[in-house]
Structure 1
Amino acid sequence: MLRSPHCELALARHGRPATTRAVRQVLERMRQTEPPHPAPVKAIAERALACLEDQERPSQRPVINLTGTVLHTNLGRALLAEEAIDAVITAMRSPTNLEYDIEAGKRGERDAHVRDLVRELTGAEDALLVNNNASAVLLVLNTFARDREAIVSRGELIEIGGAFRMPDIMARAGAILREVGTTNRTHLRDYAEAIGSATGLIMKVHTSNYMVQGFTAAVEPAE
């Protein structure tokens, strides 16, 4: 089969191992879905080549956002500014001092490049950057509430995309869940009454795409 002229293009583009696997996949699919009869070598080779081309096509492709939601999670959220794109390209083309302190002449920290900017923007004493909210929540809980209570409103024990569930993240971080209030109403006194020697932190969760309407009450972060 592979010696046939019809396989030359597949072999030239994708190599012998990949072409062999593709031919086997095509033959197996034909056995399962088509009546038993001799298939032309050319047809098998064409299907194998199409299979290989499909496998090499990038799964992530440009799309047009017509949803009406500008920062769309499923479409990559915010677009980068051209300056940021240029900076990424520059950093990917040559070595950089990602984790090297040039002035000290020794290993540094990658967060050092952005820590001061984040502190200036947020007013925080310090900053650690991760690439998603689940990581941030887990690290905060593990740092401040490991084997201690994390107080959170019952109405904020949510699950969002990717099976990100607050009770599960708390458990994995080693925090002890302490629910206060009810599903629809949580008051400031509920938090105050729950605070004790076992408290590690008080947690406020943005409910994202989940909302309780009607007879409700919630405590704002500033309170």
Structure 2
Amino acid sequence: MSADPRRQVPRTDTLLADGQIVPAVERLGRDLVREAVRTVQARIRAGGLAPADAVAEVLAALPDTAASLRPVLNATGVLVHTNLGRAPLSLSAVAALTAAAGTTDVELDLRTGRRGPRGEAALAALRAAVPAAGAALVVNNCAAALALAATALGQGRELVIARGELVEIGDGFRIPELLESTGARLREVGTTNRVTAEDYTRALGPDTGAVLKVHPSNFVVRGFTRAVPVAELAAALAGSGVPLVADVGSGLPAPEPALPDEPDLQTTLADGADLVLASGDKLLGGPQAGLVLGRADLIQRLRRHPLYRALRVDKTTLAALEATLRGPLPPVRRMLAADLAGLRARAAALAARLAAAGVDAAAVDSEARVGGGGAPEHPLPSAAVSLPADLAGPLRAGAPPVVGYVEGGRTLLDLRSVPPEDDEALATAVLAAAGR
């Protein structure tokens, strides 16, 4: 037999027809598997791999899915991490999303055989979670909710907003640019640091479409400041016929003792807001969505606007949102409620296990954050595993990738953002990254 390694390379069609690889072709598609085959063939030609190992190496090189997104262990301590997909879904929401991925009755009344209301069950679950809402609407994110409200209520008219709320948030996204893109004119009131109810009422006129209050996200003004609470502003606007629209950002459905200063949907509506807007994938713990709740007549006005059709969500989002609201407590809420003693015990156990294997590891106290623009000045006491700084890169390159942060010359893996059931996977990943 020739010693030339090129003559020993298994043929592409032979490998693709192998009984162990055929299921992968059916799961991932022929093109993706063929790329893995070609990579393995190149290694054999270069003499770095034995031909007998070709099948095993092809299988090892294949991803779990045909998509490029990879599951990551979030050990940053940021519960709602935008770069890591914000709130992780509950098992209940994942199951609902999977069930909805096929043919579903999203707009069909199975009892009558006629077209039914789209997403009514998810909207009912949302109204049940926020009883002060007369009606609800879901679009694809909070920016879409703000754009829809501004267009339906303010196009060609004025939107009154405090100067201190014309903020820029992540990735260069600026609230005033979004509002102006809808065809509305902005009527700025107050100053950067102070605004009063009289500033708002003096700005009202025949062209006023709405008054907006926008949560400033991760922007905070300190010192000589004054803002107008929703209850005070609603009272000042009473009888004017001008709707008050409040963007509360993080989607907290009701007051949360751990975050006493974070606005919530229920309280904001009870205080007199006509519409509230929020994200579904932050403290609500659900899929990416923009939530609109409030007066039924205003919700219907938004629903009938032509722009709504371009912004509405798909069946999988509706299913995941409903399951988040009706199912068990979602992961982000469990992370928020985690007790410090339990976090410290987990950190100590993980650090002891790693140290016993020869890894420079120690349990330390840390500070976690809500993230996603929520509660920017309210750190959450937490516990972390401290590792050498040079492990940060290998941990991100591992399987699964682990993302922590480097502080004080050490890599910290904060456990408040890691579910307890992932501790074993976290320990295995650290041992692999450290070569143990």
What TM-score do the two structures reach when normalised by structure 1? 0.73
Q: CA deviation at 1:72?
A: 2.3
* SS of residue in 2 equivalent to 1:128: strand
Q: Aligned match of 1:172 in 165, 181, 204?
A: 181
Q: CA deviation at 1:42?
A: 3.7
**Distance in 1, Cα, partners of 2:163 & 2:154:** 18
Mapping of residues 20-39 of structure 1, within 5 Å? none
Aligned counterpart, 1:184: 193
**Distance in 2, Cα, partners of 1:184 & 1:134:** 24
Aligned counterpart, 1:146: 155
Q: Aligned match of 2:138 in 110, 114, 129?
A: 129
1:97 aligns with 2:97: no
Deviations 1:116-155 (A, max 9, x none): 2222333222211013111000011111111111011111
Q: CA deviation at 1:167?
A: 1.3
Aligned counterpart, 1:35: none
Q: Kindly indicate whether the alpha-carbon contact (under 8 Å) linking 1:134 and 1:164 is maintained by their aligned counterparts in 2.
A: no
Q: CA deviation at 1:173?
A: 1.5
Q: Aligned match of 2:94 in 85, 101, 106?
A: 85
* SS of residue in 2 equivalent to 1:168: helix
**Distance in 1, Cα, partners of 2:220 & 2:99:** 43
Larger RCO: Structure 1 or Structure 2 (Cα < 8 Å, ≥ 6 residues apart)?
Answer: 2
One-letter amino acid of the structure 1 residue matched with residue 110 of structure 2 = I
**Distance in 2, Cα, partners of 1:128 & 1:193:** 31
Distance 1:84 1:58, change over 3 A: closer
Structure 1: gaps (5+ residues): 24-40
More strand by share: 2
- CA RMSD, aligned part only? 3.4
One-letter amino acid of the structure 1 residue matched with residue 113 of structure 2 = G
1:194 aligns with 2:207: no
**Distance in 1, Cα, partners of 2:185 & 2:13:** 57
Aligned counterpart, 1:62: 71
Aligned counterpart, 1:208: 217
User: Percent identity, aligned pairs only?
Assistant: 41
Aligned counterpart, 1:31: none
Q: Out of 95-104 and 205-214, give the one that drifted further.
A: 95-104
Q: Aligned match of 2:124 in 110, 113, 116?
A: 116
**Distance in 1, Cα, partners of 2:153 & 2:7:** 66
Larger Rg: 1
Distance 1:214 1:107, change over 3 A: same
Distance 1:95 1:136, change over 3 A: same
Runs of 4+ in 1 over 6 A off after TM superposition: 53-57
Q: CA deviation at 1:85?
A: 1.9
Mapping of residues 3-42 of structure 1, within 5 Å? 8-9=11-12, 42=45
